[in-house]
Structure 1
Amino acid sequence: MPQSHPDPGTAAPTAPGRLGVPVQAAEAQTYLFALREWVAQRRADLGEVDRAVLKLSQAEQVAITNDLTVALTFWKAVSDRLTLLETTFDGGRVGPVEAERLSTLIHGRLDSNTTEHLALPSSGSLAVSLPEACRLLDSLTRTLQARASLAPGAAEATQRITLVRAGIERTRDQIPLVPAGAQRDDATEKLARLDRRMEDLVERARRGADVGGIIGPLEIDVAVLERDLIVAAAERASAARSRVRTQQQVEELDARAAAIRALERACVEAITPAPHLAIPNVRALGPVPQAAAELTAYRDKLERVSRALDLAHETYAAGLAERDEVVGLVGAVGAMAASATLAPEAAEDVAELRRRLDETLAARPLPIARARALAAAFSAYVDTATRPQPRAGRTAPRPPAPRPQRPRP
């Protein structure tokens, strides 16, 4: 028997668990079934809106098309994520790895694996999770249905009033999440006005008045406020995650700087002349800022600090590596000389060169230029002294005698 779609007024299914908590197979199966039905219904709703828009005037079409495009963008993102979830679920074959992956796909950002960011006209690029996107799509769909004169579900005013009330209550739940200040005061005032309009609407309906002309604008305003609060919450969550990542980066850079300072001391104590580079102090940048613009500038500074630390690390490590290279060369050449049979004069020269090298290598800090030159001379001399000589008794062939010239007539 074919399964019927959920009622158009039905909200998106509640997502199981939270980010970082593995989703069990039974929970995932229930959620994916409900989400699949909900996605199909929302696509049908938006298709109905699209067909209704074609019957509106040109000006009304322009006004509604932008929001319809945004709604379809959200629907596409949710549908794509549903495909990934169903692929990961794989008919119920869910192990520990798949359970964690399902949690990440449900509660992670929708734009993390896409080339196209979700966007709203007023806020530009927006990173939201799957549940947040579903709630936004519910809100946008109700708004579009009202603007296109399509009542969600049925045309009866009582059902529309019920849906508006549900939207107001969802909005009321969002307000405590707004930080105290002007934003929360503004949202509270808007909600109070919506409450008063809702009370007036209910009273009119109770008296038997026709409320069809005033319920549509109220539906739109409730949906817009709910959408704006969800957007703001998503932006705050994204900023909070960015601040946490930035603080972690500060700790990592500070630890790297301490290690590179130790490398610098080791290099200065080991060789002379030693390189001298300034190692930045990441703590001098101050605490991680709260505002988004200041946070972006702060992260740019951290990037410059990271590049400076990379350069210092490479430079001091190269100085120590050069010392190790010289010491290794002297050891290898000395072993070659010890295993070879040298003429007495050559043996004395090799011993004298090795003595000077040992004196130089014992110095702290090591004069790296002198050590490099002596090591090169030592290597070249030993190579020459150990090279096979021509056998004794062999003489070079004599040149042919010149032919006598005839006297000229």
Structure 2
Amino acid sequence: MSTYAVSPTAPGSLGTDVPPRELLRYLDAMITWKGQRRSELEDLDRAAIALESPQERAAVTPDVTLSMTLWQAVSDRLELLMATWDNGRVEESDRRRITTLIWGSLEQPGSRGAGQALAVSLPEACRLSDSLASSLRSRLRLDGADPRASERVGALRQQLARIADQVALIPSKRRQSAAQAHALLERRLEDVADRLRRGGDVVGFLGPLEAEAATTERDLIVAASARAHAKVEHAQATREVAELSARGQAVRALAERARARVQPAPTLGVPDVTALGDIPSDPDELSAYLTRLERVDRALTMAQTTYAAALARREDLVQQARALASALGPDSGAGSAMVPLVQQTERLIADEPTDLTQLEALVQAQQSFARTMGITVDPAPTGSTADPSKGDAR
């Protein structure tokens, strides 16, 4: 058995039901892996800090940092698993929730752009941690590395099998370079195994081979998670485009209604999401595309708010004018002084687009007259409570 932590095989698949005993074995193994890997990372961190060459420290620091980040993500997910396990008091729904937590992405919702390393499942994160730790031990030349060459060759065979599985997941058009790298690793491993069978010393060959295999597996896992992440983002972009297209049409209708009913009307443009073109498949282009979708969303929100506010202002002024017309009627004591002003206001309201500047001036004049005459006017609903979609009552 290796002296280093090796991640256990995860049970089931996403959302499946797994027997409680199998889940318990996995959780126990994960707790052991977590503690052992933490101890290893502390040793690796100390060894990295102790490097005399700044260049060497700079070369290993990103992998040490990534290893710590992965460990923390695994630890956080393990806490959720243990909370769901609840000392074995689990029904079928709980067991399915556990396998969902195991095989679901460690990346949290809304964390897009925070780094691809966490866009992996728990088993992938553990395997990536194993690979990184193996690579770092070799690069840092730590004492106490497992001296049993045959075991190390066997571990390498298992690792190359996992690499082959990852290569098979790459789209055929992009697979060539990864397949060549895998083939080269296999040839080097066979050469080492042949030397070992003939009794040769292979320790000097194993270290670099382990480091390169670990780096290759790490890169393939991260690339696979990036592809999966891009697939999710592509589906998200598709939904957002459909939603923004529908919103855009509605806001354009709202803008036309505002321009037809009020003047001066707002002049904000209403963006058309289809102008962005087709949704790209390349992860980098897709990320930029999603950023542009966010800008379209903000622009639509601003346009909707602005045009709705103009219509709501008209509705507010119309209701105030109607309340004043009622208060300043023949029985109000105002006589006929306000009749021309009230009539002028009604004509202005009936004329579309309504000049809001003139309407506001007329309403303010009537309000001033009512206050001077001591006439009480029932308060009209303000624009904040009016529903601009209903229009004014005629």
The TM-score normalised by the length of structure 1 is: 0.75
Q: For the structure 1 residues 194 and 60, does the alpha-carbon distance in structure 2 shift closer, same or farther, using more than 3 Å as the test?
A: farther
| Gap change, CA 1:231 and 1:364, over 3 Å in 2 | same
- In 2 relative to 1, CA 192–99 (structure 1 residues): closer, same or farther, beyond 3 Å? closer
* 71, 75, 80: which one aligns with 2:71: 75
The answer as to 2:337 corresponding to 1:349 is yes
Aligned counterparts, 1:49-60, within 5 A: 53=47, 58=52
Asked whether the 8 Å contact 1:269–1:365 carries over to 2, the reply is: yes
2:369: which partner in 1?
Answer: 381
Residue 38 of structure 2 corresponds to 43
Q: Deviations over 1:184-211 (max 9, x none)?
A: 2111112112222222233333333333
1:13/1:31 contact within 8 Å kept: yes
User: Whole-Å Cα distance in 2 between the matches of residues 72 and 311 of structure 1?
Assistant: 42
- Inter-partner Cα distance in structure 2 for 1:253 and 1:300: 13
* 1:227-256 residue CA offsets vs partner (Å, 9 max, x unmatched): 121121122223333333333332222222
* Rounded Cα–Cα distance in structure 2 between residues aligned with 1:262 and 1:367: 20
- Taking a change above 3 Å as real, the CA distance of residues 293 and 9 of structure 1, as seen in their structure-2 partners, is closer
Distance change (3 Å), C-alpha of 1:333 and 1:246: same
Letter in 1 for 2:33: W
Matches within 5 A, 1:9-408: 10-14=6-10, 16-18=12-14, 21=15, 26=20, 29-46=24-41, 53=47, 58=52, 62=56, 66=61, 67-68=63-64, 70-92=66-88, 100=97, 103=100, 107-110=104-107, 126-129=117-120, 130-146=122-138, 147-148=141-142, 150-152=144-146, 155-181=147-173, 183-337=174-328, 341-343=331-333, 346-387=334-375
| Structure 1 residue 177 displacement after superposition | 1.3
Q: Is the 8 A contact 1:81 1:110 kept in 2?
A: no
> Distance between the aligned counterparts of 1:60 and 1:342, measured in 2?
90
- C-alpha change, 1:355 and 1:23, in structure 2 (3 Å) is farther
Q: Distance in 2 between matches of 1:279 and 1:172?
A: 50
1:270 Cα deviation from its structure 2 partner: 1.9
Partner Cα separation in structure 1 for residue 52 and residue 296 of structure 2: 55
Distance 2:12 2:101 in 1: 12
- Does structure 2 conserve the Cα–Cα contact (< 8 Å) formed by 1:353 and 1:374? yes
CA-CA distance at 1:117 after TM superposition? 6.1
Alpha-carbon shift at residue 356 of structure 1 (Å):
3.1
1:170 is displaced (CA, Å) by: 0.5
Aligned with 1:126: secondary structure?
A: helix
AA in 2 matched with 1:34: A
Structure 1 residue 101: Cα displacement: 8.5
Q: What letter is aligned with 1:191?
A: H
Structure 2 CA distance, aligned partners of 1:113 and 1:193? 39
The residue that corresponds to 1:395 in the other structure is: none
Q: 1:17 to 1:272 in 2, by over 3 A?
A: same
Per-residue displacement from partner, 1:285-333 (whole Å, max 9, x unpaired)? 2112233443344344334333332332222112111111111112322
Cα gap change, 1:223 to 1:268, in 2 (>3 Å): same
Return the letter of the residue paired with 1:362.
A
Task: Report deviation, 1:35.
Answer: 1.3
Unaligned runs of 5+ in 1: 119-124, 389-409
Distance 1:98 1:282, change over 3 A: farther
Helix, strand or coil for the counterpart of 2:185?
helix
**Given residue 81 of structure 2, which amino acid in structure 1 is its aligned partner?**
L
- Opposite residue 79 of structure 2, the aligned amino acid is T
User: Using the alignment, how far apart are the partners of 1:94 and 1:329 within structure 2?
Assistant: 63
Q: Distance in 2 between matches of 1:368 and 1:379?
A: 16
Q: Contact conserved, 2:77 with 2:106, CA < 8 A, in 1? A: no
Summarize the Cα distance change of 1:48–1:341 in structure 2 as closer, same or farther, 3 Å threshold: closer
- Count residues with an aligned counterpart: 367
Of structures 1 and 2, the larger Rg is shown by 1
Sequence identity (%): 35
Q: Is the 8 A contact 1:128 1:234 kept in 2?
A: yes
Query: What is the identity, as a one-letter code, of the residue corresponding to 2:254?
Result: L
Q: Structure 2: state its 5+ residue gaps.
A: 377-394
User: 3-state DSSP class of the match of 1:195?
Assistant: helix
Per the alignment, in what secondary structure is the counterpart of residue 225 of structure 2? helix
Question: Retained in 2: the 8 A contact 1:175–1:184?
Answer: yes
The one-letter code of the counterpart of 2:100 is S
Amino acid at match of 2:274: R
